[in-house]
Chains A and B, each alone.
Chain A
Amino acid sequence: MDRPLRLITANPVDQLARTLEALLVVASAPLSIEELAQAADENPERIELALALLSDRFREGRSGIVIEHVAGGYAYRASREAAAACERLFERPVERGLSQAALETLSVVAYLGPCSRPEIARIRGVAADSAVAGLLERGLIAEAGRDDGAGGAVRYRTTPLFERVFGLESAAALPRLDDLGESAAEIRERLHSVAVGKTA
């Protein structure tokens, strides 16, 4: 026999999956399918195939490392069962101490961004300077240009870190604004009933 005997045939998708594993372990932020395809020099369809293989291999209950689809890409994270150990090892400076004011400001930027401090202040009824500064420092929001006109206010948008911290696949994963809170009609009704009660 001239040719050497091969008992195991290398599966190309498996080989691609190993490459993707390597890419995800060196990346410090989620990688999109396009980025993975470019780095692995493969077409996106095969990347998705290999990712499906990896997602099964690195899933909760099977591995300490889990692949998740977050912030528009794929990334490793620790499995939830290892959370207590991780908590003993790491602090969470990004999420720690997010005040109500910070969360409200973050909501305004997430839904209406890019938006400026005056716009945030108009909606919340309180100046947003310190909340915006805190969110900037945490890396949850970032500057995104200025309002039109000379001396326009700086506008802000949420960052990929925001989506990652909140476990969102993308900004589209936020609940629809119309589904939240009372409608203007309901509030008007309530205002009227208060006004009537006062005059009665």
Chain B
Amino acid sequence: MIVRELELDLDAFEGPFDLLLTLLLKEELEPAEIDMAAIVIAFVERLAERDELDLEACGEFLVLIAALLELKARALFPDEEAELAELEPEEAAEELARRLAEYRRMKEAAAWLAERLAGERDRYFRVGPAPIAPRLERRLAPQDPQQLAATLRLLAEPPPQLSLAHMSLRFPPVSQFLERFRAVLRRRRRFDFDAEVGSLSRVDQAVAFLALLELRKSGEISLDQAAPFSPIRVSRPGVERGSEWIARSA
């Protein structure tokens, strides 16, 4: 039987004994977490499975488990180590007895509780949730009621009425402007388009411009513009641009 390969199934560890030792020595596992009694029971059970007593295994196990117990004791009572080391054997025995008695009493108390729990199994009661925690109050900066009312009034105001006037535009006939420009040219040799239509609405101006293009297409007028966006000069065809011409002369 090889002690190192003893398989353990403890609360804090599951695996072979030698891995447990390695983890403890590397301090990756707390000795306090390990239930030593469970290791001893596992070993004794394995031992009992065999017909003959393996003294060599027992010896090895004793050495290892003793070392582990010492490790655990040191971990559990780090501060008391020095204090306990100074105790006389009699005092140490007394201390041990005191502690054992303390633990024994707690063990008995645990047994009493277990018995009590079993006896109370048929007592059912409602376990309510914890009392509702008071809600956190959201604190706002101090507000002026008048200002708040004014802001609300602004929000409550109906939006301005949208104008739909452009949806029903009335276009004057192009012919109206054809006649008008022909009449002007009968009276004068040339005129300034912008000055002629300046007092009209945008729609009328647009229709007047169409009439202008119409007259130009039919060769009834000549058009002249000194630069983009400068006034459009309208004249009878064949009329030379005179030196006396001044913008907006009409």
Contact = CB atoms under 8 A, between A and B. Distances in A.
A187 B99 CA distance: 10
A9 interface: no
B76 A122 contact: yes
A191 B98 CA distance: 11
Contacts of A122: 76-77
B219 interface: no
B107 to A, nearest CB: 6
A127 B112 CA distance: 22
B4 to A, nearest CB: 24
A44 B102 CA distance: 41
Contacts of B86: none
Interface string B110-146: 1111101101111111111101000000000000000
Interface string A152-192: 00000000010011110000001101001111111110011
Contacts of A184: 94, 97-98, 100-101
A77 B123 contact: yes
A157 to B, nearest CB: 16
A9 B105 CA distance: 58
A95 interface: yes
Given A87-B124, A98-B114, A121-B76, 9 more contacts: A27-B128, A101-B11, A125-B76, A126-B33, A127-B32, A166-B120, A180-B109, A187-B100, A187-B101
A98 B11 contact: no
Given A80-B123, A184-B101, A188-B93, A130 B109 contact: no
Interface stretch (A11-19, A49-57, A102-110, A143-151): A102-110
B39 to A, nearest CB: 12
B108 interface: yes
B180 interface: no
Interface residues of A, number: 54
Nearest to A26: B128
A123 interface: yes
17 contacts: A28-B128, A76-B125, A77-B126, A80-B123, A83-B122, A83-B123, A95-B117, A106-B113, A107-B107, A125-B103, A126-B35, A175-B109, A180-B105, A180-B109, A181-B105, A184-B97, A188-B93
Interface string B62-97: 000000000000001100000000000000011011
Interface string A23-57: 00001110000000000000000000000000000
B103 A28 contact: no
Q: Is the interface of A mostly helix, strand, loop or mixed?
A: helix
Interface in B182-241: none
Given A86-B124, A166-B113, A167-B116, A123 B94 contact: no
Q: Assign chain B's interface to a size class.
A: 35 or more
A136 interface: no
Contacts of B116: 166-167
Interface string A72-103: 00011110101100110010001100101101
B250 interface: no
B70 to A, nearest CB: 14
A124 interface: yes
A123 B93 contact: no
Contacts of A187: 97, 100-101, 104
B40 interface: no
B115 to A, nearest CB: 10
